[in-house]
């Protein structure tokens, strides 16, 4: 997910790692918190596959600084990541879907339509899985557990309606 976020930001701004973390915290404050431990490895992976590049220059304080930018391949990769979005971890599906929706403004109208259909399928399937779990007589859930799952189903329904 961090690769989508990083590419999304670099699609709008050329920036240093430090500023990238600040932008993530500003733009994505409702969904995630940045950390050097997640930004650096993601940037390295993206650099390795040719999605980002950087220029080194001396800062006003005399420190060597890297300013990152997205490449043409990075822009294509960002669209591909959104178009093939899938959240494999049930724990993260709601939040990761929100981030993908948040970043979907870079898609063309036809790409967004395909993205939306894909995401609707993912959300519907997850909702069905949760509903089946609630009805499964072999799973003994207490009232708090049931309500927690019901709240997640409600969140999924809101996302589905929002799309």
Q: Which of 82, 117, 145 is the last residue of a domain?
A: 82
pTM of the model: 0.88
Q: Of the candidates 131, 130, 120, which has an alpha carbon nearest to the alpha carbon of residue 97?
A: 120
User: What is the spatial distance between Cα 121 and Cα 53, in angstroms, rounded to a whole number?
Assistant: 35
Instruction: Among 49, 82, 115, give the residue marking a domain's end.
Output: 82
d(CA 113, CA 56) in angstroms, rounded, equals: 39
Q: Residue 138 is encoded by which pair of tokens? A: 């072999």
Domain carrying residue 140 = 85-163
CATH code for position 18: 1.10.10.10
Q: Does residue 18 share a domain with residue 70? A: yes
Pick from 131, 136, 121: nearest CA to 153:
131
Task: Give residue 62's region: left, alpha or beta (phi > 0; psi -120 to 50).
Answer: left
Whether the Cβ atoms of residue 34 and residue 87 lie closer than 8 Å to each other: no
Is 88 a residue whose pLDDT tops 80? no
Q: What is the pLDDT of residues 102-127, one digit of tens each?
A: 999 999 999 999 999 999 999 999 99
């Amino acid at each position: 997910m961090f690769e989508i976020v990083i590419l999304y930001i670099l699609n709008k701004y050329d920036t240093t790692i430090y500023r990238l973390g600040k932008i993530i915290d500003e733009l994505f404050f409702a969904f995630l918190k940045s950390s050097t431990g997640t930004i650096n490895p993601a940037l390295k992976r993206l650099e390795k596959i040719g999605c980002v590049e950087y220029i080194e220059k001396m800062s006003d304080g005399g420190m060597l600084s890297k300013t990152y930018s997205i490449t043409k391949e990075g822009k294509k990769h960002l669209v591909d990541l959104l178009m093939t979005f899938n959240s494999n971890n049930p724990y993260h599906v709601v939040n990761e879907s929100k981030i993908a929706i948040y970043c979907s403004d870079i898609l063309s109208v036809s790409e967004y339509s395909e993205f939306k259909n894909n995401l609707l399928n993912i959300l519907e399937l997850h909702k069905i899985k949760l509903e089946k779990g609630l009805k499964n007589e072999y799973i003994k859930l207490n009232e708090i557990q049931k309500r927690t799952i019901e709240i997640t189903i409600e969140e999924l329904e809101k996302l589905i309606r929002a799309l």
